[in-house]
Structure 1
Amino acid sequence: MLAKVKVPPEFKCNPFFFAQDVIVFQPPLLRGETHQQPAFIYDIVAKEEELPEAPWNSLEDCIPPLFIEWKNQEKILHEQFSIRKVTNAKEVITEWSGRFLSALFWINGRSIQGLTALEADIQKLTYKPVNTSERLLFLLKKPGMYHSFVQLSELYKELQKQYAIKRIRLKK
């Protein structure tokens, strides 16, 4: 059975949930299935209630599957762009940009508190790709463009490296 949650005002930011009032998702929110749920759903639900399986508390269960699923989606988008038959690039890039943002914050051990002060919040993070804020702003302005896809692909590659760095530092 599907569940609904109201989108808080601090998450209503273009292009995410600009005119949307609710998000529909499939409960329960399990940390190993983060890539199968809508972007930001864990962060939004965590504002209302305690999440027993919060992804930012168990990175090993949620980050690697997210990266694997992005690789699959990246191949599909690349093929579509190469034959110039991209029908839903804007929606897919926007969705995966949201998932990137969640993963970025989760790798830093926290949830996203909102999207309205995103640039300032990103600056405070320890593990992040170079110029993350500027690059994200670029791709979110025109998410259907090929250059936005390339930028998002590079951000994911760099985030994967930052995740590896964090894992190495935690093992020391």
Structure 2
Amino acid sequence: MNWNLEDGEAINFQQPFMYELAYYCNISMLQPWNSIEETIPCLIEEWKLLKDKVEQLFKMRNTKEVTEPMKQGIALFIQLLHWSNGLPVCLSPIQYEQLTIKPVNVKERLEFILSRPHLYHSFIQLVELMTEMEKQWFKVVAINKAKQ
């Protein structure tokens, strides 16, 4: 299936890393890391919706159901981390040194979240990482527009 933003198709975040899977299998599909000005805002909006859902689960102390949406949030962050740098996600292992746009201590912070996705502290850390990435991405966009 081809996802094409110009044709009005919506980017799909329900299947994490499906665009990278297609890319590494040489299947013609949207490459969101090549059109970040269109895809990153969509990803950020998806995160905001998911964040509200996870926040509600923690408020209701429903820790059994929080792991899956947290994994979705982690996947969104990993996509944001790579796509903001114009790269497809590579998970084995993440090449942090190739990423110029990234939060401080991202490797250690992400490892903490990945090892304990069900904890509230992991959620708070994920929120902070997403916020930092969003700020850095908007800063890069602003600098690029100023250069033009």
TM-score band w.r.t. shorter chain: 0.7 to 0.9
> Shift of residue 139 of structure 1?
0.4
Unaligned runs of 5+ in 1: 1-26
Contact 1:81 1:146 in 2 (8 A): yes
Root mean square deviation, CA, Å: 1.8
Does residue 145 (structure 1) correspond to residue 115 (structure 2)? The answer is no
Match of 1:76 in 2: 53
Q: How many residues align?
A: 143
- 2:10 is paired with a residue whose SS is helix
- Deviation (angstroms), 1:116: 2.0
TM-score by length of 2: 0.87
Gaps of 5+ in 2: none
For 1:37 and 1:79, the matched residues in 2 are separated by 20
Question: How far is 1:135 from its partner?
Answer: 0.5
Task: Tell whether 2:93 aligns with 1:117.
Answer: yes
Which residue of structure 2 lines up, in the alignment, with residue 60 of structure 1? 37
Shift of 1:35: 4.5
Deviations, residues 104-150 of structure 1 (Å, cap 9, x unaligned):
111101112x31221xx113211111111110000000111111111
Shift in Å, 1:169: 2.3
Please name the residue that 1:128 is paired with: 102
CA distance in 2, matches of 1:143, 1:44: 24
CA distance in 2, matches of 1:165, 1:106: 15
**Higher strand residue share:** 1
| 2:138 counterpart residue number | 164
- For the residue of structure 1 that corresponds to 2:22, the secondary structure is helix
**What is the rounded CA distance, in whole Å, between the counterparts of 1:71 and 1:152 in structure 2?**
12
* C-alpha distance 81-52 of structure 1, shift in aligned 2 (>3 A): closer
Q: Do the aligned residues in 2 keep the contact of 1:122 with 1:133 (CA within 8 Å)? A: yes
1:88 matched residue in structure 2: 65
What code does the residue aligned with 1:128 have? Answer: K
Separation in structure 1 between the aligned mates of residue 140 and residue 109 of structure 2, nearest angstrom: 22
Check 1:155–1:34 CA distance in 2 against 1; reply closer, same or farther (3 A cut). Answer: farther
8 Å contact kept, 1:77–1:86: no
Deviations 1:143-171 (A, max 9, x none): 11111111111111011011112112222
| Percentage identity across paired residues of the two chains | 34
Matched residue type, 1:101: I
Distance 1:52 1:44, change over 3 A: closer
SS in 2 for 1:61: helix
